[in-house]
């Protein structure tokens, strides 16, 4: 019986065994027409791996699952173990880097990527920041090692290089953009060297680096998703029923469709009229190009209605985790996108502060009413990631801080501005 690998031809975990087979001179065949989510749910597959994970290798002595175990089996099948180094210490170091590739690199790439794609754990910015920070630590360690080493162990490719490269492949091809990997030049050199080796290229094909970070697939809450599904079912056209010969009419109760209820008014629309016209302030802000203090800031305070509106400072709770500039900027941009539901009732400025990590995120918000709107707190999960403090406009220091945030004053509180974003 030949070795048969149950996986698709684009599965990076299957690549490990297939590349190892090329180096070891072992024949491994991919099962034809494998369909993820279908083929791995069959009774035959479950018998080989009770939890249905992919890949699984069929051998003359029975099945083997878990991709690293499969790759180890293939690498040592012929007994010469050329992929395990030339000594006991090299063998140990191969195993060391295999564990590192799995626990430090693959795990943190997956924890960053999969929630954005809607797989596994829900997307949570603090969790993403933690994963990115841990990944940077791992890549920094790997970068330092590769500064004086072409390969992970010894002077030729080992199984550690195969597994490390396959794990990095997921990151480079899906989420690790050039602006991210440029911090680790020796890792870049190593990765592109590996994937262009003939045995790697034969299995993986041409590799292109991700140009952007995938957007978060969905920010809907489970209740919203259920409601969408419910509405979809309700809106589906009823199947046409074939007419039967006419029968005597029998009076039956007619189930009428409930008339759509008028959408309840937003509580903010029920507040007494305000002398401050929000759109007029937004136009003044947008159109003022010079003498900003004298024109826009003075105009703001002339318009401001302390009874109809309130000002709020916000500070991100997890600034210590803001270690990657572009991720921090993307985080703020995502927050502003999700605040779109409040555009009619709010104006905001978000500052990303610092010339280097960790970056601080601070904001100023103008809301209709005297409180942070409840519908915003309910619908925009980002709100709970910030500490909110109402501005006391009778405090001149706080009032001046408002002015500085509106005009993007730099330095702000003694630090450089990385960026300033406006919600209007």
**pLDDT per residue over 331-360, tens digit each?**
898 889 888 889 999 999 999 999 999 999
Confidence of residue 257 (pLDDT cuts 50, 70, 90): very low
**pLDDT per residue over 173-220, tens digit each?**
999 999 999 999 999 999 999 999 999 999 999 999 999 999 988 544
Q: How high does pLDDT run on average in the chain? A: 88
In a domain, 392, yes or no: yes
Q: What is the model's pLDDT at position 263?
A: 57
Among residues 156, 177, 204, the one where a domain terminates is 204
pLDDT exceeds 80 at position 422: yes
In a domain, 232, yes or no: no
> Collapsing DSSP states into helix, strand and coil, what is residue 29?
strand
**pLDDT per residue over 58-71, tens digit each?**
999 999 999 999 99
Confidence of residue 81 (pLDDT cuts 50, 70, 90): confident
| DSSP string computed for 193-215 | HHHTSHHHHHHH------SSPPP
Query: Per the structure block, which two tokens stand in for 37?
Result: 């989510």
Q: What is the mean pLDDT of residues 316-320?
A: 91
In a domain, 263, yes or no: no
Q: What is the model's pLDDT at position 249?
A: 39
Domain membership of residue 21 as a residue range = 3-204
Same domain, 58 and 174: yes
Helix then strand then coil, in percent of the chain rounded to 5, is: 50, 15, 40
Q: What is the mean pLDDT of residues 125-133?
A: 91
Q: What is the model's pLDDT at position 217?
A: 81
Reply yes or no: is the peptide bond before residue 64 cis, omega within 30 of 0. Answer: no
Same domain, 72 and 145: yes
Burial of residue 222 (number of CB atoms within 10 Å: 0-12, 13-18, 19+): exposed
In a domain, 253, yes or no: no
Angle at 223 between CA 218 and CA 224, to 5 degrees: 50
Q: What is the model's pLDDT at position 218?
A: 58
Angle at 107 between CA 34 and CA 51, to 5 degrees: 45
In a domain, 245, yes or no: no
Confidence of residue 228 (pLDDT cuts 50, 70, 90): very low
In a domain, 135, yes or no: yes
What total of structural domains would you count in the chain?
Answer: 2
Among residues 173, 204, 235, the one where a domain terminates is 204
Same domain, 177 and 30: yes
pLDDT exceeds 90 at position 324: no
* Side-chain-facing half-sphere of 302: CA atoms under 13 Å: 10
Q: Out of 266-275, 314-323, 374-383, pick the least confident.
A: 374-383
Query: Per the structure block, which two tokens stand in for 354?
Result: 């610092």
pLDDT exceeds 70 at position 53: yes
CA distances from 190 to 149, 152, 185 (A): 9, 9, 9
Among residues 153, 169, 204, the one where a domain terminates is 204
Query: Per the structure block, which two tokens stand in for 331?
Result: 């985080």
In a domain, 29, yes or no: yes
More confident call, 200 vs 249: 200
Q: What is the mean pLDDT of residues 42-49?
A: 94
pLDDT exceeds 80 at position 55: yes
**pLDDT per residue over 260-275, tens digit each?**
445 577 889 899 999 9
Please count the other Cβ atoms lying within 10 Å of the Cβ belonging to residue 336.
16
Q: For residue 252, which phi and psi values (nearest 5 degrees)?
A: -120, 150
pLDDT exceeds 90 at position 279: yes
Same domain, 411 and 276: yes
Q: Helix axis angle, 67-76 relative to 12-24, nearest 10°?
A: 10
Same domain, 40 and 175: yes
Q: Are 72 and 88 contacting, i.e. CB atoms less than 8 angstroms apart? A: no
Sequence length of the chain is 424
Please count the other Cβ atoms lying within 10 Å of the Cβ belonging to residue 376.
19
Q: Which of 315, 333, 317, 316 is nearest to 421 (CA)?
A: 333
CA distances from 206 to 173, 194, 195, 202 (A): 10, 12, 8, 9
Please report, for the domain that includes residue 135, its CATH number.
Answer: 1.20.1050.10
311 beta partners: 366
Please report, for the domain that includes residue 372, its CATH number.
Answer: 3.30.70.1010
Q: For residue 349, which phi and psi values (nearest 5 degrees)?
A: -130, 130
Q: Are 169 and 207 contacting, i.e. CB atoms less than 8 angstroms apart? A: yes
In a domain, 249, yes or no: no
> Collapsing DSSP states into helix, strand and coil, what is residue 246?
coil
Q: What is the largest CA-CA distance in the chain?
A: 94
């Amino acid at each position: 019986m030949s070795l048969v690998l149950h996986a698709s031809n684009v599965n990076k975990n299957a690549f490990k065994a297939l590349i190892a087979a090329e180096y070891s001179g072992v024949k491994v065949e991919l099962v034809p027409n494998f369909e993820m989510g279908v083929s791995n749910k069959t009774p035959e597959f479950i018998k080989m791996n009770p939890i249905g994970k992919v890949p699984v290798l069929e051998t003359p002595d029975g099945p083997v699952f878990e991709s690293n175990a499969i790759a180890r089996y293939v690498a040592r099948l012929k007994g010469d173990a050329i992929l395990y180094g030339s000594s006991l210490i090299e063998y140990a170091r191969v195993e060391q880097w295999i564990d590192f590739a799995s626990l430090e690199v693959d795990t943190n790439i997956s924890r960053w990527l999969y929630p954005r794609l809607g797989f596994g754990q829900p997307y949570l910015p603090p969790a993403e920041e933690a994963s990115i920070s841990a990944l940077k630590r791992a890549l920094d360690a790997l970068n330092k090692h590769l500064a004086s080493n072409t390969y992970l162990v010894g002077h030729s490719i080992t199984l550690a290089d195969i597994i490390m490269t396959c794990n990095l492949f997921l990151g480079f091809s899906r989420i690790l953009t050039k602006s991210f990997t440029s911090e680790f030049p020796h890792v870049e050199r190593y990765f592109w060297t590996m994937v262009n080796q003939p045995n790697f290229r034969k299995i993986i094909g041409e590799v292109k680096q991700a140009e952007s970070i995938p957007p978060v697939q969905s920010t809907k809450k489970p209740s919203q998703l259920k409601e969408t599904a419910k509405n979809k079912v309700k809106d589906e056209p009823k199947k046409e029923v074939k007419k039967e010969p006419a029968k005597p009419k029998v009076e039956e109760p007619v189930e009428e469709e409930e008339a759509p209820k008028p959408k309840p008014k937003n509580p903010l629309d029920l507040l007494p009229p305000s002398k401050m016209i929000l759109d007029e302030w937004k136009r003044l802000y947008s159109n003022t190009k010079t003498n900003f203090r004298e024109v826009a800031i003075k105009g703001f305070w002339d318009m401001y209605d302390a009874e109809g509106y309130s000002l709020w400072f916000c500070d991100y709770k997890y600034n210590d985790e803001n270690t990657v500039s572009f991720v921090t900027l993307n985080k703020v941009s995502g927050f502003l996108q999700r605040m779109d539901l409040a555009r009619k009732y709010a104006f905001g400025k978000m500052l990303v502060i610092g010339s280097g990590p960790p970056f601080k995120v601070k904001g100023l918000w103008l809301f209709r009413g005297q409180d942070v709107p409840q519908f915003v707190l309910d619908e925009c999960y980002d709100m709970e990631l910030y500490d909110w403090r109402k501005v006391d406009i009778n405090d001149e220091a706080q009032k001046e801080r408002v002015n500085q945030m509106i005009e993007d004053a730099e330095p702000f509180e003694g630090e450089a501005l990385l960026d300033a974003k406006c919600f209007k």
